[in-house]
Amino acid sequence: MKKNNFLANFYMFMVFFFLFAPIVVMILFSFNAGKSTSVFEGFSLTWYAEMISNEAILEAVRNTLLLAVTSSVISTVLGTVAAYGINKMRSPGVRATLMTITQIPMINPEIITGFSFTLLFVFTGTILHFSETFSFWTMLIAHVTFSLPYVMLQIMPKLKQMDKSLPEAAMDLGCNPVQSFFKVELPEIMPGIVTGLIMAFTLSLDDFVISYFTKGSGFTTLPILIYGEVRKSVKPDIYALATVIFVTVLVFLVLFNMLSTDEDAKAKRQQQREKARARRKHAKEAHK
Amino acid sequence: MNKTAKGPLSRLLAAPHILWSVLFILIPLAFVAFYAFTDNDLHFTLTHISEFFTPKYLGVFLRSVKLAAIATVICLVIGYPAAYFISRTSPNAQKVLVVLIMLPMWTNFIIRTYALSEVLEVINNAIVYLLSLLPESLVPIALDPKPDIVIYNETAVVVGMVYDFLPYMILPIYSVMSKLDYRLVEAAQDLGCNGFGVLRKVVLPLSIPGVLSGITMVFVPSISTFYISNQLGGIFLIGDIIDYYYYNNNHHFAAALSFVLMLILLAGLILMNRFGDDEKEGKR
């Protein structure tokens, strides 16, 4: 058994070593004093300073955040409303067809989804005589479209799990359908909505392929900027940028996990309290 | 009564989404099909589709299938035990390990792939150096000029695919295994199964859904990648060709390539789902 454990640990170590070796190289060379990404010439923070003063990078950061916030909010609102409507449909066939169509961008290779947007926008742009078809708006449409299935797949199960009698009870007690939705149903499916929103946000932040096919000349996001830089020659400032993003994600994940373990611990304490109460009650009754 | 009065109205809530899906999912795909079968004057033609089946492009396509398939198999071989080990640790350890698996996914894949190319370069140099220490008769390849053993070839592309998409294999398999009822394993042991028997007769069949979704999630992005192949291997795969013709404004040929690729993947997906369903039927 012990030998087995050792083998398993060693195996996991090798897997993580493989997954993290390039990231370690990236972080290490972001502190390089020299201009190279393969020869380490000493520790320095030059590239971080360079990055902060690079207007192109800062603008790309702003654009990326703007796009991620708007596309995740729109896809969450649209997806919640749609999931609610689809869930109310009586024919299982129609429901299944709608969900399948929504999931096409999830299954199709990203390059085809992206290229199909190119064709749509080029065609529409030509017909309507736009001088500049590709812009923030084309990217926004694309990002909302590929985030939608992820949002809806988070909300659908919550709607199905929800007790059907809850909204009925609310309406019997005098709520109109709108009130019942906001006061009863929405809080019930809230966890799904939040997870969907977070997923849509991170998907948008990190998307390169579909953005590449829908980008306009005036609106550059981080992945697009990085792609352009990598095609020329990489300077450590891109590594510095990626390191900052990596650390940010890490901090968020740790915080998020600590919060959720806190909740778990709270739930556990609550359970224990209830158990203790029940035990006391039981003891009292036995005493009588 | 309430339900019937409320039904039609709340169903209308799906309308904006249906409109959105038609406009931005179905119509764009219709455009891919339309462009694939037309020339620059939008007249019907089969030239682009038939060009896909010439040796030049068919060769690229088969090479993409080969490399993506190898990468998928390697991901499965590495990822399956990893998912199993993770699912057997304590709940807190599982949480940490899953975060560690997901962490690289949140680092931009272009930077990761670029950094990987630097790592492979170093490994390549190390291998060449070690080989140069051996007596010349034992070294099967010429060391001058410096050979590319693990970089700028197909091996490097496969390593890149495995590196970028391994988490997509581990996570779905892990999520199936973490829900696996451990009492089934104990029951199998009580009934006289040894470790291997438990794995083959209980764990493996129950984890098939995770394996199937892992295979799709690795194979589809691998076969259609258009950066990894170029950066690590200096070779062209089907995705690079689509990108090339997109970039050079030959949208009709790029559409034809996309259209055929999409059809082939769709056929594969349907076949695999059949297989998955059969597995389930057999188990019942």
pLDDT: which is higher, A281 or B123: B123
Give the pLDDT of residue B232. Answer: 92
Residue A195 lies in a domain: yes
Q: pLDDT of A177-214, one tens digit each? A: 888 888 888 888 998 899 899 889 989 988 999 999 99
* Beta pairing partners, B44: B38
Closest partner CB to A11 (pick from B85, B239, B251): B85
Closest CA in chain A for residue B230 = A231
Subunit contact B20:A78, Cβ cutoff 8 A: yes
Domain B55-283 classification at class level: mainly alpha
Place of tokens 């990404």: A37
Q: Which of A219, A187, A183 is nearest to A71 (CA)?
A: A219
Query: What ipTM does the predicted assembly reach?
Result: 0.89
Instruction: Give the B window 52-81 contacts with A, CB below 8 Å.
Output: 78, 81
Interface residue of B9, B61, B105, B107 to substitute, partner A, most A CBs within 10 Å: B107
Residue spans of the domains in chain B: they are 55-283
- Tell me phi and psi for residue B180, to 5 degrees: -65, 135
* The pLDDT of residue A1 is above 50: no
- H or E stretch including A103? helix A92-107
The two structure tokens encoding residue B190: 């009580």
Domain count for chain A, please give it.
1
Subunit contact B78:A12, Cβ cutoff 8 A: no
Q: Which of B108, B93, B86, B113 is nearest to B170 (CA)?
A: B86
CA distance A157 to A224: 35
Q: Which residues of chain B are within 8 Å of residue A120 when distances are taken between CB atoms?
A: 24, 27-28, 31
**Burial degree of A187 (CB within 10 A; 0-12, 13-18, 19+):** exposed
* The pLDDT of residue B4 is above 50: no
Average pLDDT over residues B232-241: 93
The two structure tokens encoding residue A287: 């005493």
* The pLDDT of residue B5 is above 70: no
Give the pLDDT of residue A268. Answer: 66
Q: Which residues of chain B are within 8 Å of residue A247 when distances are taken between CB atoms?
A: none
Q: Are A82 and A76 in contact (CB under 8 A)?
A: no
% of chain B exceeding 90 in pLDDT:
57
Subunit contact A261:B82, Cβ cutoff 8 A: no
Given CB atoms, is B2 within the 8 Å cutoff of chain A? Answer: yes
* Beta pairing partners, A43: A32
Which whole-number Å values give the CA distances from A46 to A51, A79, A245, B111, in the listed order?
9, 44, 17, 19
- CATH number, domain of A72, equals 1.10.3720.10
CA distance A41 to A38: 10
Instruction: pLDDT band for B283, please (50, 70, 90 cuts).
Output: very low
Q: pLDDT of B237-249, one tens digit each? A: 999 999 999 999 9
Q: Which residues of chain A are within 8 Å of residue B167 when distances are taken between CB atoms?
A: 19
Q: How many Å lie between the alpha carbon of A275 and the closest alpha carbon of chain B?
A: 22
Residue A21 lies in a domain: no
Residue A195 CA from chain centroid, whole number:
8
CA distance A130 to A119: 14
Q: Are B198 and B188 in contact (CB under 8 A)?
A: yes
Q: Are B197 and B188 in contact (CB under 8 A)?
A: yes
The two structure tokens encoding residue B164: 């970028």
Q: pLDDT of B83-114, one tens digit each? A: 999 998 888 889 889 989 988 888 888 999 99
Average pLDDT over residues B111-136: 90
Extended beta strands in B91-228, E state: none
Residue A165 lies in a domain: yes
| Sign, CA torsion A106/A111/A112/A113 | positive
Q: Which domain holds residue A220?
A: 54-238
Q: Are B82 and B170 in contact (CB under 8 A)?
A: yes
* The pLDDT of residue B11 is above 90: no
| Sign, CA torsion B53/B56/B59/B65 | negative
Residue A182 lies in a domain: yes
Residue A269 lies in a domain: no
Interface residue of A112, A121, A179, A207 to substitute, partner B, most B CBs within 10 Å: A112
Place of tokens 């190898």: B70
The two structure tokens encoding residue B106: 């949140």
* The pLDDT of residue A277 is above 90: no
In the chain, the amino acid numbered B85 is F
Q: Are A11 and B85 in contact (CB under 8 A)?
A: yes
Q: pLDDT of A69-100, one tens digit each? A: 999 999 999 999 999 889 888 888 888 899 88
CA distance B36 to B255: 5
* The pLDDT of residue A133 is above 60: yes
CA distance B49 to B260: 8
Closest CA in chain A for residue B242 = A111
